[in-house]
Structure 1
């Protein structure tokens, strides 16, 4: 399988992020599958859209109904010109544009058993009960996976029947657990102990394979967990034979996932004895209530039928107030559908289709129900008359007042990638900003091929164009009423002149569709500043979450603690790697030879005088970089590129490895008598270059072309020509083994060596004088590279893959292919169109509460989902974190203070003190910082600092310019004030306030 496509028709560039989520084997099965979807209302279209994006071999849609005006309010692939035409044929026009690899067609006849035979999975959308039973029977007879799904108002129902025996090959989608063995204890069982601070992360019944002293054992062993870092396995005869006389030094374990078989019941049988995907512990009967509601969705006398059916199914009739509310809303809105609910249920069903095709992830077993009645105001009167229009469903469910507010609302959508596209689709179809309101969407990125797999508003012709512009154009086609404006800006400090007081004063709320924490934090800070609700969401493969950030009610995004990104010890990367992530990190650091180092050197060549103001550390760094770039690796021809690449290969994979072994031979022991090469330390072995080894040649091929790019030399894309050149250059390579080389055995020693390197050697003047003369390199066109993972022609990922795998071979670590290397090195977040669709739908249901001005925190929901398990849950958002200061409660929402006018430092301090003191004269502003680090005022220094006293009567602007040498870049100026309140009993409390200062 290649990155651009291959004989198995899997285009890795297109499906890149999806492949990281489901893997190649599942993808191959999907591309061999045919899917039938009957019912092309808004829900059916959502299922079809996501299934086509995923890459099934063929998707056939079916709907013999004609389009009416109400359909337009939930089905974004229908327009006014679709009225009175067949729904199936109309939606096919747009569906067929989504993925050129997928065959799409519309079936316009009655469904027969013979017709169904060709399909892997069949989905029946919003079908009556008797039809579900009939088609479920046909599918069972033909071995076709069957899904029945309904979406009504804010309610959803999914039923899955994959037959009497369905095989799941990966039940959770997680990477197999692996780890380093510290101790192996043999008794009646074999006890395996992980190295310190490592947890195995497995459960009893899981299976592992073992590597002991570099010997890979063939068998897979079932484990029994003892504790979080220890498990045991049965001492079989073969394992006992292997361990006789065995002296354990090093070992590893790797989980081996086991296939499982699941038995499903038919629809009639499962309906009588339902099993539910998730339980709602706050509302324990809700699934039973919803199950009964959907069974009776077409009943004319709904309430009477419900009471009878519920009692016969569950032998009880006790209903909570929540249950009664659900029944009332269901009964009153069962003639409606909602684009937000369709987005959730349609995304989930599409993932069930994928499971049915591939056996990847656990399917629903067997009913899943969803409700969001809290999104509807308690005051709504469902007897109100609603005229037929494309906003009929919204008005019927939420009321006319809600529809007016929705259409007049102004919002800011930050990001128009995967989540952004889905949000725009949902809000445009529903009618947001379709009256007096406006939606602004911004995204600084342009469209790449890998986006097309899940950012469904884009087409191949859009590649290279700006996301926000293409997205807004696409949603305007869906609903011409939608008032939307596109920006191509990043939301950051540099754009605060655009996204300023005037801009935010017009907004009702903000929707984030971002993929990085830094940007989310920044938007969150702006929403706190302007007291605006923020709807936050994110996905990672089959996992997703949403967060409601509601003015004065909930905690903010930055109030929650994000887990720190995992890092690796420098000594591990430098000398003692034990897994592929270590070698990839090492290779990525090696890429600095083409990136950071030449940038540093180029600055010096362009401005030699810069060295006069450099610190000792920076000057030593420049000296090292200049030696590497302008002397050791300087290339003037492609032959030089080949030779330098060969030298690098031999230094990294032969000579330096020999130095390590020379320093720490196989029998080397620690001071405590244990073997040095044990635990997490794997003993390396040197490699010898083999011109007939393609992996060796690929390394030189990639690195030579990177050198050529760096030194502006014509590249060579023919690997056979490069191989001939290698043959000519190999005789020039000699072995260089250094004696008494310093190799740190741990982090502490590495720090000492680095400190010695910084302190020892030449003086600053000697360093300056020994730098290469810039005049000698006037004609050198140095072209520093910038790592780009998604360009398959630039050799960047090829080099890191080859470099990492050579290192892995040194240390007996299992190598990985280019695709996996790219994911790890590029920190690619796995992504699925299905998860994105679900998350966007959940966000929009929460948006309805903001439109309704809901001020009860118990009504809001933060959602958490994992399609792989499968799992969907919600919690009430955390309340705003408060602190008391001088008898007043403050939180993130009101601890930002606004001060206006041309103030001196003294006047500003007085204004702040007055604002927060609440009459307590013993309130002190301890310090005032600019940019969180520059002190404009320090109370503690007032008694002895002449400079601080002189500042007091200068203007704030004057002091900032005096300290920083320039005017403030942004208005308002953000200052940090640390303040203390003193009590009568001499107790004191220090708190932090943000000051937004407007000088004019």
Structure 2
């Protein structure tokens, strides 16, 4: 892949409203401003073979202004190996015309046009970004020069078997990325507990909300020197005012300009993005091999025949030598690996869906960078190969020209690389795909293209209990608007069968876990060849990993977050297990931080959600529990809820106003009464909060009124009160409502640590006052025929029913109390709903890398060095590939064992009878020298040596 160009491309401003319901996960990746700029760019994608359709698909899902797909060629059988929008009935028809129909369904906001004529300069001038795939070198040079001269971003993406290339074009401004952190003067100490981005030496920061040293506020960005993870040096502050408290430090990425040479210049003097420093010669050879391949194709009118080791390889090596000599004369000297050129010639006629997925995702991400001005562009050539997917030499017979010859099959592009026998082996595979979301859709698409489980005895089982939501359509490309509310697994399976009718895929809607082990038990797992997870739940992935260890099945795991992604493969008796690789520690906040000393918007949002749960869910649960049976331990909370039962909209508003007063004025004033701002002996929790809290005043601000209205409506809903929710009427109630002035509570103890809080709660729990009240007063409140209250379970990513309205308003009011920067609706929704930022490009790249590891599993690779753990960041772009982690070994009773080892027990005695528990104990002692002390099956104790003799006798006789 290569990015080429010269002049700055101005991202066109667009004022189109962004559909947050569709693009919400992507907005979290790119930002709202970048999304709007992107909607001003028209993109041309030329070449509708595998890599071209992958690129176009990702760009359309992202939401640019328009996409034109171009191709003058007709569909061939070999195209079906990776072009998922072509079918067998489309062979002989124009690729662009056929693809346009399907691509246009992906996003109604993006017009998609097919073009089948030559690419004239007049036609090219209508686009802001041009992507070429599957084009001749002469065409690439012509269009590159035109784009370079006309400020059009030019991206070249090409794949040939296992080693693809991708260059990219003109320069543009990278958008700012902000990270708020708290700090102190001189040497700034970062006190925020939240996950931080790393500061860099020379990185630029700005300051705000600093009390005392106000010279820092709103100053120009200044460089920092990193002293440690939480300490930064900002230079001389001796002349500044004394620092008092608080402050926010914001990391700012300054706009940068990127300039690129045209293709003609970079052919002889390339800048190659090196993902492995030890492979410089390797990548330089691939750079020359691609040029030699263009020369061969121009001379012969075809690609080299697969595995033709006599004429084809010799010809390509000669051409590569000529390219190398020309580059030597031009001053760019790099050694030529002729053996690598021969290997390149052997597979260059191939067309692999996983490779196209990776390069198509990269090319699309570079388009989005050019269109949005977001992130760092590729500089300037990128080569990616996967030679490890070929058979290991010591374990196989070398592939021959006959093995890889075309057969008039939809898999000819893949057979050209791996041979027909391997294709048959792929068709017989039995795989379990857990999850049919974004990664699951891409995996299933790739599985369909490569022919996994498309033969006799093959089977793919996919399970997902979720239904399709509108926000899924932005990156889960197997789904369409008419599929919303349908089961993900069923729709995805049907889509894959449409792409490849031979794929044997079965859809389930079950949650994989202990409750479904009767369905997914011994018979199911023992019949599998492997498992691929597409889950966003770490606990679920650990469970799948444990099942794979139990049944000795390889596991393909992957995940994404924004432009970051990872792929790991776990192979029995070769690599570590999934459980060894994962750290499941979940971020939690001390209760005292949430209740009294918040320092970040995450704290105030969690506090607001807790308030929501307590006010509108738990209070209703308490009343509903009491209605059918008198639960005395809940009487106090029930009494409070019933006393506040409203009879009108005005009473709901009055309740909400009193709640506002308590939460954002009285509670804060009580905290200040206990801990005055200049008090020096308060807790570390209080000191870490930076600014002292300030009570809010009931001003007619939008946030204040938003809280009142949301709380009033939720209170009315909880009590099943039919009200209008009228804002005008609410304001009238507020005008006449009088509240008593705040009176501090003398002697009130406010815990400053979680241990103090626990001790206080234990004490209060022993001193319930309600239990001594006479029941008749409560009975009067109950009356007759009490209707259960309506529960409002919090749905952090649900815009309906005012749930999020309340949480966002309450959080931002709390943030104002403590001088914490507030968060807008979208950001709050992401944090509360724990929504993972997502974009289609990363998902596609990750799924492609998963399938490359799948090839190795199907071959049965035994060398640990063949498998890769992959980590990528398309924003940079950066790819890191490392060997899979070797298997940890342990010693016990002079035996070496691993997590994959187990003791095989025959299950029957020598006489053929089924073993009793006593027989098992004796077998372990005799055959393995193990004295059984306790035997467990999950939580159940099957045997314990300390049991009584009577119980042991009874238990040992069980079978």
- TM-score normalised according to structure 1 size: 0.86
* Residues in 2 aligned to 1:86 and 1:954: alpha-carbon distance in whole angstroms: 77
Residues 950, 680 of structure 1: CA spacing in aligned structure 2 closer, same or farther, 3 A cutoff?
Answer: same
Q: Report the CA distance between 1:139 and its aligned residue.
A: 0.4
Alignment correspondent of 1:488 = 509
Q: Report the CA distance between 1:40 and its aligned residue.
A: 0.8
* Residues in 2 aligned to 1:141 and 1:504: alpha-carbon distance in whole angstroms: 59
Task: Confirm or deny that 1:665 pairs with 2:664.
Answer: no
* Residues in 2 aligned to 1:249 and 1:83: alpha-carbon distance in whole angstroms: 71
* Residues in 2 aligned to 1:594 and 1:414: alpha-carbon distance in whole angstroms: 37
* Residues in 2 aligned to 1:904 and 1:687: alpha-carbon distance in whole angstroms: 79
Task: Confirm or deny that 1:630 pairs with 2:647.
Answer: no
Residues 316, 29 of structure 1: CA spacing in aligned structure 2 closer, same or farther, 3 A cutoff?
Answer: closer
Task: Confirm or deny that 1:643 pairs with 2:661.
Answer: no
For the aligned residues, what is the CA RMSD? 3.0
Q: Which has the higher strand share?
A: 1
Aligned counterpart for 2:429 among listed residues 409, 417, 427: 409
Residues 502, 748 of structure 1: CA spacing in aligned structure 2 closer, same or farther, 3 A cutoff?
Answer: closer
Q: Report the CA distance between 1:594 and its aligned residue.
A: 4.8
Alignment correspondent of 2:181 = 179
Aligned counterpart for 2:294 among listed residues 286, 291, 298: 298
Aligned counterpart for 2:401 among listed residues 376, 383, 395: 383
Q: Report the CA distance between 1:324 and its aligned residue.
A: 5.9
Residues 677, 598 of structure 1: CA spacing in aligned structure 2 closer, same or farther, 3 A cutoff?
Answer: closer
Q: Report the CA distance between 1:790 and its aligned residue.
A: 3.7
Task: Confirm or deny that 1:950 pairs with 2:958.
Answer: no
Residue 67 of structure 1 aligns to a residue whose secondary structure is coil
Aligned counterpart for 2:809 among listed residues 797, 802, 814: 802
Q: Report the CA distance between 1:307 and its aligned residue.
A: 3.1
Q: Deviations over 1:222-276 (max 9, x none)?
A: 21223333222233xxx665x24x2533343222221111221111222222222
* Residues in 2 aligned to 1:106 and 1:556: alpha-carbon distance in whole angstroms: 48
Q: Report the CA distance between 1:587 and its aligned residue.
A: 0.4
Residues 201, 67 of structure 1: CA spacing in aligned structure 2 closer, same or farther, 3 A cutoff?
Answer: closer
* Residues in 1 aligned to 2:837 and 2:654: alpha-carbon distance in whole angstroms: 38
Residues 303, 899 of structure 1: CA spacing in aligned structure 2 closer, same or farther, 3 A cutoff?
Answer: same
Aligned counterpart for 1:392 among listed residues 395, 412, 434: 412
Q: Report the CA distance between 1:64 and its aligned residue.
A: 1.2
Residues 18, 900 of structure 1: CA spacing in aligned structure 2 closer, same or farther, 3 A cutoff?
Answer: farther
Residues 428, 221 of structure 1: CA spacing in aligned structure 2 closer, same or farther, 3 A cutoff?
Answer: same
Q: Report the CA distance between 1:957 and its aligned residue.
A: 11
Q: Report the CA distance between 1:465 and its aligned residue.
A: 0.7
Residues 857, 491 of structure 1: CA spacing in aligned structure 2 closer, same or farther, 3 A cutoff?
Answer: same
* Residues in 2 aligned to 1:741 and 1:328: alpha-carbon distance in whole angstroms: 82
Task: Confirm or deny that 1:448 pairs with 2:469.
Answer: yes
Out of 100-109 and 292-301, give the one that drifted further: 292-301
* Residues in 2 aligned to 1:771 and 1:267: alpha-carbon distance in whole angstroms: 87
The answer to whether the 8 A contact 1:905-1:953 is kept is no
Task: Confirm or deny that 1:605 pairs with 2:626.
Answer: yes
Alignment correspondent of 1:972 = none
Alignment gaps of 5+ in structure 1: 1-5, 185-189, 612-618, 959-998
Task: Confirm or deny that 1:169 pairs with 2:165.
Answer: no
Alignment gaps of 5+ in structure 2: 1-13, 297-314
Q: Report the CA distance between 1:28 and its aligned residue.
A: 0.8
Aligned counterpart for 1:131 among listed residues 125, 128, 139: 139
Q: Deviations over 1:869-926 (max 9, x none)?
A: 2111211111222222223332221237668589999943652563487543xx3333
Q: Report the CA distance between 1:460 and its aligned residue.
A: 0.8
Aligned counterpart for 1:911 among listed residues 912, 916, 920: 920
* Residues in 2 aligned to 1:516 and 1:916: alpha-carbon distance in whole angstroms: 41
* Residues in 2 aligned to 1:256 and 1:572: alpha-carbon distance in whole angstroms: 28
Alignment correspondent of 2:163 = 155
Residues 624, 362 of structure 1: CA spacing in aligned structure 2 closer, same or farther, 3 A cutoff?
Answer: farther
Aligned counterpart for 2:452 among listed residues 432, 437, 441: 432
Alignment correspondent of 2:323 = 309
For these two proteins, the number of residue pairs brought into alignment is 910
Out of 450-459 and 599-608, give the one that drifted further: 599-608
* Residues in 2 aligned to 1:400 and 1:450: alpha-carbon distance in whole angstroms: 41
Q: Report the CA distance between 1:494 and its aligned residue.
A: 1.2
Task: Confirm or deny that 1:336 pairs with 2:342.
Answer: no
Q: Deviations over 1:167-186 (max 9, x none)?
A: 2124xxxx6343333x53xx
The answer to whether the 8 A contact 2:943-2:955 is kept is no
Residue 381 of structure 1 aligns to a residue whose secondary structure is coil
Any residues of structure 2 matched to 1:210-289 within 5 Å, and which? 210=207, 211-213=209-211, 215=214, 217-219=217-219, 220-235=221-236, 243-244=240-241, 246-289=242-285
Alignment correspondent of 1:206 = 203
Alignment correspondent of 2:367 = 353
* Residues in 2 aligned to 1:792 and 1:401: alpha-carbon distance in whole angstroms: 53
Q: Report the CA distance between 1:735 and its aligned residue.
A: 4.4
* Residues in 2 aligned to 1:952 and 1:508: alpha-carbon distance in whole angstroms: 41
Task: Confirm or deny that 1:371 pairs with 2:379.
Answer: no
The answer to whether the 8 A contact 1:905-1:951 is kept is no
Residue 458 of structure 1 aligns to a residue whose secondary structure is coil
The answer to whether the 8 A contact 2:556-2:568 is kept is yes
Residues 100, 200 of structure 1: CA spacing in aligned structure 2 closer, same or farther, 3 A cutoff?
Answer: closer
* Residues in 1 aligned to 2:85 and 2:804: alpha-carbon distance in whole angstroms: 39
Alignment correspondent of 1:976 = none
Task: Confirm or deny that 1:574 pairs with 2:582.
Answer: no
* Residues in 2 aligned to 1:176 and 1:790: alpha-carbon distance in whole angstroms: 23
Task: Confirm or deny that 1:421 pairs with 2:429.
Answer: no
The answer to whether the 8 A contact 1:524-1:556 is kept is yes
* Residues in 2 aligned to 1:289 and 1:196: alpha-carbon distance in whole angstroms: 48
Alignment correspondent of 2:582 = 561
Q: Report the CA distance between 1:669 and its aligned residue.
A: 2.1
Residue 52 of structure 2 aligns to a residue whose secondary structure is helix
Residue 45 of structure 2 aligns to a residue whose secondary structure is strand
Residue 880 of structure 2 aligns to a residue whose secondary structure is strand
Q: Deviations over 1:492-551 (max 9, x none)?
A: 111111111111222111111111101101111111111111111000000000111112
Q: Deviations over 1:317-345 (max 9, x none)?
A: 767xxx66643332012222111111111
Q: Report the CA distance between 1:623 and its aligned residue.
A: 4.8
Any residues of structure 2 matched to 1:737-776 within 5 Å, and which? 737-761=744-768, 766=772, 776=783
The answer to whether the 8 A contact 2:82-2:352 is kept is yes
Alignment correspondent of 1:822 = 829
Q: Deviations over 1:267-303 (max 9, x none)?
A: 1222222222233145342211221222222333211
Alignment correspondent of 2:70 = 62
Task: Confirm or deny that 1:894 pairs with 2:901.
Answer: yes
Alignment correspondent of 1:689 = 698
* Residues in 2 aligned to 1:570 and 1:129: alpha-carbon distance in whole angstroms: 64
* Residues in 1 aligned to 2:739 and 2:192: alpha-carbon distance in whole angstroms: 46
Residue 592 of structure 1 aligns to a residue whose secondary structure is helix
Alignment correspondent of 2:892 = 885
The answer to whether the 8 A contact 1:160-1:364 is kept is yes
* Residues in 1 aligned to 2:921 and 2:560: alpha-carbon distance in whole angstroms: 41
Task: Confirm or deny that 1:652 pairs with 2:650.
Answer: no
The answer to whether the 8 A contact 2:668-2:693 is kept is yes
* Residues in 1 aligned to 2:914 and 2:671: alpha-carbon distance in whole angstroms: 61
The answer to whether the 8 A contact 1:716-1:722 is kept is no
Alignment correspondent of 2:310 = none
Residue 107 of structure 2 aligns to a residue whose secondary structure is coil
Residues 770, 167 of structure 1: CA spacing in aligned structure 2 closer, same or farther, 3 A cutoff?
Answer: farther
Residue 164 of structure 2 aligns to a residue whose secondary structure is strand
Q: Report the CA distance between 1:760 and its aligned residue.
A: 4.0
Alignment correspondent of 1:870 = 877
